[in-house]
Amino acid sequence: MKFFLKLTATFLLLIISISAVAYFFWYKPKFSKHADKGAFVIKKNEIDKPILARLKSKAENIAAYAKANHYNEQYCFMIDMKIESGKKRFFVYDLDNDTIELAGLVAHGSGKDNTDEIKFSNEPGSLCSSLGKYKIGKPYDGKFGLAYKLYGLDKTNSNAFNRFVVLHSHSCIPNEETAPVPICESWGCPTVAPNFLQTLSQYINKSTDPILLYIYQ
């Protein structure tokens, strides 16, 4: 009887060991932290014409500003706050070719009223997003990991640095669209998915001139 119990226990231990090895080699790679860059590719026909027209118009202004003020003249980042949060509204824009290169989800500030309507403010403690142009600064290791300092270049976002408004990621932001369901909100920071921030960092870190971020409505 003891021999039978010992044999059964050995058999169960063997099954558990095989399952553990199978998990490590089969399932674990599926949860890789590195998303395929293709997850953030978006085509022109996937964007409404008014949104695309507004994007191109803003890009023209950014291109002129970048050239006059020694910013990166090839790429800029743009966020269209007229688009609902469950849809991709953070665009990596190729100014040279006048095309969208990548797009991802981005959170907006919750504000203090916690209403469904997006409110914008430059006031400290408002918890709101601020419209305007930003200079993307140096990376650092913040509360949520990798983050980039932001410097407001307009009257509407001049307090961004002092408000600790930065470009960072959070696990509550997915890679794929959730519309009509909205995504989580921030305390004023343009917050993106961890995988998307890693992709954005490749543009930022390789650039010899600062990249511009433009949040508009």
Q: Which pLDDT tens digits describe the chain residue by residue (217 residues)?
A: 444 444 444 444 444 343 333 323 332 333 334 456 678 988 767 788 999 999 999 999 999 999 999 999 999 999 999 999 999 999 999 999 999 999 999 999 999 886 778 999 999 999 999 999 999 999 999 999 999 999 999 999 999 999 999 999 999 999 999 999 999 999 999 999 999 999 999 999 999 999 999 999 9
Token readout for 38 is 């293709």
What pLDDT, on the 0 to 100 scale, is given for residue 46? 79
| Cα–Cα distance list, 73 to 1, 56, 137 (Å) | 79, 15, 16
Residue 4 CB neighbour total at 10 angstroms: 8
What pLDDT, on the 0 to 100 scale, is given for residue 80? 98
Which one-letter DSSP state was computed for residue 126? -
What pLDDT, on the 0 to 100 scale, is given for residue 102? 97
CB 62 within 8 A of CB 216: no
Starting at the earlier edge strand, list the strands of the sheet with 191-192. Answer: 99-104, 90-94, 75-80, 212-216, 132-142, 145-152, 166-169, 191-192, 106-107
What pLDDT, on the 0 to 100 scale, is given for residue 28? 31
| Cα–Cα distance list, 214 to 76, 105, 144, 177 (Å) | 8, 15, 22, 21
Give domain 37-216's CATH superfamily. Answer: L,D-transpeptidase catalytic domain-like (2.40.440.10)
The model's pTM: 0.82
What pLDDT, on the 0 to 100 scale, is given for residue 38? 73
Q: What ranges do the domains of the chain cover?
A: 2-31, 37-216
Token readout for 47 is 């964007």
CB 55 within 8 A of CB 189: no
For residues 116 and 39, give the distance between their C-alpha atoms in angstroms, rounded to a whole number.
28
